[in-house]
Amino acid sequence: MDQAAGSSQDAQSLPGCYRHPDRETGVRCTRCERPICPECMVSASVGFQCPDCVRGAGGTGPALAAARPRTIAGGTITADPRLLTKILIGINVAVFVAVHAWSGLLADLVLRGAWPPPPFAPTEGVADGEWYRLVTSMFTHNEIWHIAFNMLSLWWLGGPLEEALGRARYLAVYFISGLAGSALAYLLTDPGTGTLGASGAIFGLFGATAVLVRRLKYDMRPIIALLVINLIFTFNPGFNISWQAHIGGLVAGVVTGYAMVNAPRRRRALVQYGTCALVLAVILVSIVLRSAQLT
């Protein structure tokens, strides 16, 4: 009896479709967040959109936060929702070509904590002030299979996530995840070991995608299965993979991704970028402490 009464009350509280106010619905446009009925739902790569957003018109009304349609995270809708993903792939490919065209370049780009090892004073590496390695290593690959696998993953995960978050928020998740992976590798691996690859950032996209899928109430089993498979490879000693970079990126991706898609609308930017700043601060502190330890 109580359950039936509660269900009736919930049904009565459902909003009406913005185009058909007499039709109650629990679905909202993933761009502008206006309620839409089945007739107005337009299937998209992420959720459903209203006809106005599909046509690229923001429409009018108090439900809209801005004149232009927005993504589920509050980002601006763009003509090419995969532009940044294409650019990131292009940078990775360009660096791959460069390290094979110029000998010695690879050694200058990989993440290395300190070299030579104690008792000698380091003359190269992050501990010697080469902090740029934390970033350049995110775009550096040496083996064809390594870059091929990472770029396929980046295209598969990055495109839909960029469309769902918007460019600025997507780029923030990508770079902070990559830096978190580099920082954890710098913190926990032998300082003389060189690590490289975009895997830390890509695992961050895995984490953010899992959060987005949960937020949209989609079936999480495919993304969880794929993540588990990748973690099995990560911890397999035969593959010589930096698990530290993968785990660091994954954790940062989950944290920043959660902030992106679950931030309250009124304080959305503050929560989103505040979380990013907090994670970035933790990364910087860990790098400073590790550098002090090695020097």
Q: What is the pLDDT of residues 6-56, one digit of tens each?
A: 444 344 567 888 888 888 888 888 878 888 887 788 877 667 888 887 776
Q: Which domain holds residue 189?
A: 83-294
Residue 84 DSSP class? H
pLDDT at 4 over 60: no
- CA angle, 53 as apex, 47 and 54 as ends, to 5°? 75
The predicted model scores a pTM of 0.77
Report H helices in 189-267: 199-215, 221-234, 243-262
Q: Which residue has the higher pLDDT, 64 or 79?
A: 79
Q: What is the CATH number of the domain that holds 277?
A: 1.20.1540.10
pLDDT value, residue 53: 79
pLDDT at residue 68 in the model: 58
Same structural domain, 94 and 62: no
Q: Among 224, 168, 174, which Cα is nearest to 199's? A: 174
Same domain, 26 and 118: no
Domain match, 261 and 129 both: yes
Q: Are residues 125 and 48 in the same domain?
A: no
Q: Based on the domain organization, do 241 and 289 belong to the same domain?
A: yes
Q: Give the tens place of pLDDT for each residue, 166-219.
A: 999 999 999 999 999 999 999 999 998 899 999 999 999 999 999 999 998 888
pLDDT digits (tens, 9 = 90+) for 96-137: 999 999 988 999 999 999 888 777 777 789 998 999 999 999
pLDDT by residue (tens digit) across 80-93?
Answer: 889 999 999 999 99
268 inside domain: yes
**Domain for residue 4, yes or no?**
no
Q: Which residues are catalytic?
A: 199, 246
User: What's the total number of domains in the chain?
Assistant: 2
pLDDT of 58 above 50? no
